Amino acid sequence: MSTKLITENSNFIEESTKLENKNVADAITLIREYYEKTESLREENKKLREEIEEINNLINNQKNNADLSNHIKLFQSNKELQEKFNSLLSQKQTIEQQLKEKTDEFKKSVQLVEDKENEIKDLEEINSNLKAEALKYQSALGAATSFQLSDDDKNNSVRLNEDIERLQDNLEDYVTNLRSKTKIHYKKLNKLFAQYHCKLEMKPRIKDPTLIKALLQRHVIEFIYNNTAEYFDVNNIDEPQSLESEITFKVNELISLTDKFAKTRFESSKVTSAVPIKIRQQIFSVLSNHGFSDIINDGQVKSEHKLISQIKKQLNQEINSYREITDNKKKKKCEELAVIIIREVIKLFFFRLKTQEPIAKWKWFNNNDKIDPNQMTGSWDDDDDLENATVEICIFPLIYKDPNSSSTELQIYTPAKVFIRDDNSSSSEEENGENGINEEKGKESKDSKNNKTNKTNKNSNSISKIFKSMIIKK
């Protein structure tokens, strides 16, 4: 359309040119040139526009391509992420499945642990019960094979020593101090001294009450022992008076049989070997605690055991033949004390010593035996020289265990109580005067008893030597 316009314009110009002057023609020429140039510019502009459009299209295409590339990259990345997600999801599911399986296993393990813990608790309880039962059996086994007496047993060594000391005190009280309201029968007393090989002779003016007390205490013990031994030697059938004798006979027989059984049976246990000793300890412990107590008949009437009554009567008569108590009240008290002493002596020498393991023994020391401070007790001090000291009379025997039959290894319960004599001690005229020896000698001369006087003088000299050392510890 623009070309047509240009043509029309050219025609118009040509016509105008013809009509106008040269200036007009020039102007038209300029206009034509202007239009031509304009058309050229338009064409150029069009081309530029087209180029620009192409450039823009190119730019747009490049942008779209960049977006597409980014999209592709994002898609690819998304795809990769999706694949990773799917892979992770699969792993998650696998892990969850494994976790579930592990959880189930853990639960089973926990349940198994709980079951085991309960089983352990049950086993621990069973074990505890077994230990308690084993301890019980072990204790029973220990008790069955142990010969040690318990602290609360009346026959243990401590109680035994205490009871021996109490018996010694009772013996002194029973004999009395021989001073006031007491008459001494010297003739019979001197025979008793001779019986124990004491070459002494006592008289009203030639006497030592402490030594006489010692002699009578010794005699009380031996009198009770000898009379009781006769009771056990006789086959008594007087029930229930003879039960102590029958039980003693039977238990000795049973001890002998069980000891023989343990020694003659193959693989006999310690318990079996302990049976004879346990029987001895148990039976003699019962006899020690209740033997020769008052007897109760079917009607619950209490009476004194016949042996106790018999020995009590005989003992009081025997001791009164050496020392006679003129005070009735004092005499009655001593005679009542005799029952306690008789029972204690019998229990000690016939029962209590047999409860010990090994069986405890006793030993009387003889007149003129050397003093042994380890086995004896008397009136001496720790710093006294006992090298030449000897025994005048043994008042109470040595109570001891002898596991190895060696005196140096004796286990002493109670040392012997002795009255000492020092053979190297000398007498003085002053001592003789103090003890009435010269006065008694003068009286014997007036009666023309020269032989008796010489004998008295000899014995009084011996007595005077020991007066100051003859004090018995209470």
pLDDT of residue 452: 36
Clarify whether residues 213 and 340 are in a common domain: yes
Clarify whether residues 172 and 103 are in a common domain: no
Q: Is residue 145 included in any domain, yes or no?
A: no
pLDDT at 460 over 70: no
Q: Is residue 130 included in any domain, yes or no?
A: no
Residue 129: pLDDT band (50, 70, 90) is confident
Q: At what angle do helices 186-195 and 209-233 cross, to 10 degrees?
A: 70
Clarify whether residues 61 and 182 are in a common domain: no
Clarify whether residues 91 and 170 are in a common domain: no
Dihedral in degrees, nearest 10, Cα atoms 401, 403, 404, 409: -50
pLDDT of residue 268: 67
Q: Is residue 446 included in any domain, yes or no?
A: no
pLDDT of residue 238: 62
pLDDT of residue 10: 66
Residue 173: pLDDT band (50, 70, 90) is very high
pLDDT of residue 184: 93
Clarify whether residues 171 and 318 are in a common domain: yes
As a whole number of angstroms, the distance between CA 467 and CA 290 comes to 43
As a whole number of angstroms, the distance between CA 56 and CA 62 comes to 9
Nearest CA-CA partner of 281 in 159, 400, 156, 141: 156
Can you tell me the mean pLDDT for 354-362? 89
Q: Is residue 338 included in any domain, yes or no?
A: yes
28 against 410, higher pLDDT: 410
pLDDT of residue 1: 52
Helix (H, G, I), strand (E, B) or coil at 360: coil
pLDDT-above-70 percentage for the chain? 73
Residues near 184 by Cβ (< 8 Å), separated by ≥ 6? 178, 202, 204, 207, 212, 322, 323, 324
What the block records as the tokens of 255 is 């001890």
- Which one of 346, 373, 406 terminates a domain? 346
* Alpha carbon 428 to chain centroid, angstroms: 62
pLDDT of residue 104: 83
Clarify whether residues 218 and 341 are in a common domain: yes
Instruction: Kindly report, residue by residue over 215-252, the tens digit of the pLDDT.
Output: 999 999 999 999 999 888 776 666 778 888 889 889 99
Clarify whether residues 161 and 100 are in a common domain: no
- Which one of 312, 346, 380 terminates a domain? 346
Q: How high does pLDDT run on average in the chain?
A: 77
pLDDT of residue 63: 66
Clarify whether residues 283 and 174 are in a common domain: yes
Full-prediction pTM beyond 0.75? no
Residue 12: pLDDT band (50, 70, 90) is low
Q: Is residue 56 included in any domain, yes or no?
A: yes
pLDDT at 9 over 70: no
- Which one of 305, 323, 346 terminates a domain? 346
pLDDT of residue 457: 39
Residue 458: pLDDT band (50, 70, 90) is very low
pLDDT of residue 309: 94
Clarify whether residues 219 and 288 are in a common domain: yes
Q: Is residue 402 included in any domain, yes or no?
A: no
Strand order in the sheet with 398-401: 361-363, 398-401, 411-414
Size (the chain), residues: 474
As a whole number of angstroms, the distance between CA 368 and CA 198 comes to 9
pLDDT at 79 over 90: no
pLDDT of residue 58: 72
pLDDT of residue 425: 36
Instruction: Kindly report, residue by residue over 312-347, the tens digit of the pLDDT.
Output: 999 999 999 999 999 999 999 999 999 999 999 999
Domain count, the chain: 2
pLDDT of residue 442: 34
Clarify whether residues 17 and 89 are in a common domain: yes
pLDDT of residue 148: 61
Domain that holds residue 49: 2-114
Clarify whether residues 171 and 293 are in a common domain: yes
Clarify whether residues 73 and 196 are in a common domain: no
Q: N- to C-terminal Cα distance for the chain? A: 173
**CB-based contact 421:393 (threshold 8 Å):** no
As a whole number of angstroms, the distance between CA 207 and CA 209 comes to 6
Can you tell me the mean pLDDT for 347-372? 92
Residue 150: pLDDT band (50, 70, 90) is low
DSSP symbols for 244-255: HHHHHHHHHHHH
pLDDT of residue 115: 85
Instruction: Kindly report, residue by residue over 17-54, the tens digit of the pLDDT.
Output: 565 556 656 666 677 777 677 777 777 777 777 777 77
CB atoms within 10 A of CB 275: 20
Q: Is residue 239 included in any domain, yes or no?
A: yes
What the block records as the tokens of 178 is 């021989």
